[in-house]
Amino acid sequence: MARILVVEDELELSKIMAEWLEDEFHVVNVAHTGSEAQAKLATSVFELIILDLMLPEVNGIEICRSYRESGGATPILMVTAKKSLSSKENGLDSGADDYLTKPFKLRELSARVRALLRRPKAVVPTVLSAGSIELDLNARTVTRGGQEVRLVGKEFALLELLMRNAGKVITVDTIIDNLWSESSNISNDTVRSHIRSLRQKLDGDSDTKSIVTLHGIGYRIDER
C-alpha cells in the first residue's frame, strides 16, 4: 500500500485511475489543476506522484521542476498524450522518473507504479518532533515525554499531517483531502471525532493540550 497523488484534469480518467489504484489497496489523492497539486505537495508527503503533463494553471513540467528544486524526492510518473521524443525528454529532464503515453492500459499503469515503488527510498527524516511528542515514521510509533502512545491508522496519519506542518493551521478540508480518498463520504464530524480521540490519547488528563483548535478554520500542533 502506498499514498499516491494523481494529478489529472480529465475528470473521468482521474476517477478511473483512482478507483483502479484503490482496488490495489493504495490510498489515492486527486488534484485536477496544477495549483491544486502544488498545494497538496506543500502540505503532504506521498510515496508516488502520477502527473499529467498538460494541466490548467500550472503545467506538469513546472510542477515537476519546482518540486525537485525544493528538495522533493518522491518518484514521479509523468503521463501525457504527447508522443514526441522531445516531450519525453522535457518531462524526464524536469525530474520525472518514468513516462507513460496516453492512451494506456490500466495494467501497464499498475506495472509502472509497482516498478517505481520498488526503487530505493531517498534518505529523508524518519522522526518528526513537536514539543515532547515524537513520531517515528519507520517504526510507526509515537511517544510523548518518552511514554509510548498507541495510535490506530487514521490517528497516526492525522498526527503525521499535523506534525509535518507544525506551527501551521491545517483546515478540515485539507485533512479530509489527505486522509481519505475522493470516493469516501467524510464529514466534518468525522474529523472532529478523530481529533478528539487523538487528543485523549496524547494528553490524557493533562492541562497541556497538544492540538490547538481554531474554530471555523482548522487545527494546529505547535513546534514547541
The model's confidence at residue 165, banded by pLDDT at 50, 70 and 90, is: confident
Give the separation between CA 152 and CA 77, rounded to whole angstroms.
31
Helix/strand/coil percent split, the chain, to 5: 40, 20, 40
**What local confidence, expressed as pLDDT, does residue 83 receive?**
67
Question: What cell does 222 get?
Answer: 505547535
The model's confidence at residue 87, banded by pLDDT at 50, 70 and 90, is: low
Q: In this prediction, what percent of the chain has a pLDDT beyond 90?
A: 46
Residue 183 has pLDDT above 60, yes or no: no
Give the separation between CA 197 and CA 193, rounded to whole angstroms.
6
For residue 142, the domain's CATH number is: 1.10.10.10
63 neighbors 94 (Cβ within 8 angstroms): no
**Range of weakest confidence among 13-17, 73-77, 179-183, 217-221:** 179-183
**What local confidence, expressed as pLDDT, does residue 123 receive?**
54
Based on the fold, state whether residues 164 and 111 are members of the same structural domain.
no
On whether residue 26 sits in a domain, the answer given is yes
In Å, the largest CA–CA distance within the chain is: 63
Based on the fold, state whether residues 132 and 44 are members of the same structural domain.
no
**What local confidence, expressed as pLDDT, does residue 181 receive?**
63
What's the pLDDT tens digit per position in 133-157? 999 877 889 999 889 999 988 899 8
Give the separation between CA 97 and CA 92, rounded to whole angstroms.
6
Residue 182 has pLDDT above 80, yes or no: no
Residue 220 has pLDDT above 60, yes or no: yes
What's the pLDDT tens digit per position in 119-132? 876 655 678 888 88
CA 208 to chain CA mean position, Å: 29
Tally the domains of the chain. 2
For residue 68, the domain's CATH number is: 3.40.50.2300
**What local confidence, expressed as pLDDT, does residue 110 receive?**
95
The pLDDT mean for the chain works out to 87
**What local confidence, expressed as pLDDT, does residue 52 receive?**
94
Based on the fold, state whether residues 92 and 144 are members of the same structural domain.
no
Residue 206 has pLDDT above 80, yes or no: no
Based on the fold, state whether residues 76 and 161 are members of the same structural domain.
no
What's the pLDDT tens digit per position in 1-20? 788 999 999 999 999 999 99
Cell 506543500 appears where? 42
Structural domain boundaries, residue 54:
3-117
More confident residue, 181 or 66: 66
On whether residue 122 sits in a domain, the answer given is no
